[in-house]
Amino acid sequence: MMKLWIDLDNTPHVPFFKPIIRELEKRGYTVVTTARDAFQVCELATLYGLPYKKIGKHYGKNPLFKVLGLCWRSLQLLPFIIREKPALGLSHGSRSQILLCNLLRIPTVMIMDYEHAQTPLLLQPRWEIIPEALANESVQCKTKERILCYEGIKEDVYAPEFKPDPSIMAQLNLNGDNIVVTVRPPANEAHYHNPESDELFVAIMNRVCSTPRITAILLPRNKLQEAQIRKDWPQWFEGSKVVIPQQAVNGLNLLWHSDLVVSGGGTMNREAAALGVPVYSIFRGKSGVVDRQLQQEGRLVLIENIDEVNNKILLQHRRKRDIPTGLKRGKTLNSLIEHIDTIITKECSPKI
């Protein structure tokens, strides 16, 4: 059986790759998985029941440490690759995986949905799978024949399989009478971070904390960010107005039980849009074409300044209807699996 290697590099990769792994295994492939110890990746993988090998961690926002950390994690992955001997590497933008595979001449497939990510030559994948919305954008894989497109957005891969679990209300001590707003701070360690996002984050948190009968579920990206937020704004945490989950939670389930979402990150915005939950983006980096498309469809509101924080974000209860699938159930997932299957045939068949 042909062996494929998936590297879980960031939190959103866990729910995204779970159904992909399942479908690949149904087709007879063996899938081995590694996970980076960052942003609750490992905790979520455990929660979702995915077997994985924990290798490497996050090295902060310093550009030099980022480069050194990238190289060091690639070295840490080397014994795993020598032992497992995968025929192909698959990720949603794992630079360590792509760097190592390129050096070892192992074909790589990168699924991506943000066209402004910086990708140096040595970190470019052999194959790329992107949403149709990005078809006319400049992407990193220079050979057009090795760029494949799928319909919909990546969140359509797993959102249709979601089933609400009301136990999260008791788990987080949520009062059903209060408006529940889930807030995701900006990724202040990312290379694309814009300080304007931090200003919008503080503005919405101040507004939420000064408004009666609202509970904010705050989802810091790591313990360091949580500690900094608690230090800088201790008043937010008075009277249980703001709740930070003490353990990893099912993100889709939390979003579904929220009345609205305000996020400085792309994936959570698009997950909320896929579920039909009102969502406001405070991301102030270069806007991606997928987010602009969702805004045009009325499924996402892009917040650009503090006035819009106060005037555009509606703090109100929502009526929870049936979960919209957008596309036919499984259509996006099946399209991705077919693309991966095609790539494997092209890249690996002569070696069998």
**3-state helix/strand/coil string of the chain:** CCEEEEEECCCCHHHHHHHHHHHHHHCCCEEEEEEEECCCHHHHHHHCCCCCEEEEECCCCCHHHHHHHHHHHHHHHHHHHHHHCCCEEEECCCHHHHHHHHHHCCCEEEECCCCCCCCCHHHCCCEEEEEHHHCCCCCCCCCHHHEEEECCCHHHHCHHHCCCCCHHHHHCCCCCCCEEEEEECCCCCCCCCCHHHHHHHHHHHHHHHCCCCEEEEECCCCHHHHHHHHHHCHHHHHHHCEECCCCCCCHHHHHHCCCEEEECCHHHHHHHHHHCCCEEECCCCCCCHHHHHHHHCCCCEECCCHHHHHHCCCCCCCCCCCCCCCCCCCHHHHHHHHHHHHHHHHHHHHHC
Between residues 124 and 351, the one the model is more confident about: 124
Give the mean model confidence (pLDDT) for residues 204-213: 96
Strands 53-57 and 30-37, by their bridges, are parallel
The token pair at 264 is 């400085």
Give the mean model confidence (pLDDT) for residues 297-321: 93
pLDDT at 142 over 90: no
Domain boundaries, the chain: 3-159+329-351, 163-311
Look at residue 296 in the predicted model and tell me its pLDDT.
Answer: 92
Q: What is the pLDDT of residues 143-162, one digit of tens each?
A: 678 999 998 889 999 988 88
Q: At what angle do helices 13-26 and 331-348 cross, to 10 degrees?
A: 60
Residue whose tokens read 């109100």: 316
Look at residue 135 in the predicted model and tell me its pLDDT.
Answer: 82
Q: What is the pLDDT of residues 316-329, one digit of tens each?
A: 999 876 665 554 56
Look at residue 110 in the predicted model and tell me its pLDDT.
Answer: 95
Q: Which amino acid is at 257?
A: H
Q: What is the pLDDT of residues 246-271, one digit of tens each?
A: 888 899 999 999 999 999 988 899 99
Q: What is the pLDDT of residues 88-136, one digit of tens each?
A: 999 998 999 999 999 999 999 999 987 777 777 788 999 999 998 888 7
With a pLDDT cut of 70, the percent of the chain lying above it is: 92
State the pTM of this model: 0.84
Look at residue 139 in the predicted model and tell me its pLDDT.
Answer: 58
Look at residue 351 in the predicted model and tell me its pLDDT.
Answer: 46
- Mean pLDDT, the chain, whole residue set: 89
pLDDT at 349 over 70: no
User: Could you give the strand order of the β-sheet that contains 301-302, starting from the edge strand earlier in sequence?
Assistant: 242-243, 214-218, 179-184, 260-263, 279-281, 301-302
Query: Alpha carbon 284 to chain centroid distance?
Result: 17
Q: Are the C-beta atoms of 18 and 48 separated by less than 8 Å?
A: yes
Please tell me the CATH superfamily of domain 163-311, with its number.
Glycogen Phosphorylase B; (3.40.50.2000)
Provide CATH code, domain 3-159+329-351.
3.40.50.2000
CATH fold match for the domains 3-159+329-351 and 163-311: yes
Between residues 336 and 350, the one the model is more confident about: 336
pLDDT at 75 over 80: yes
pLDDT at 141 over 60: no
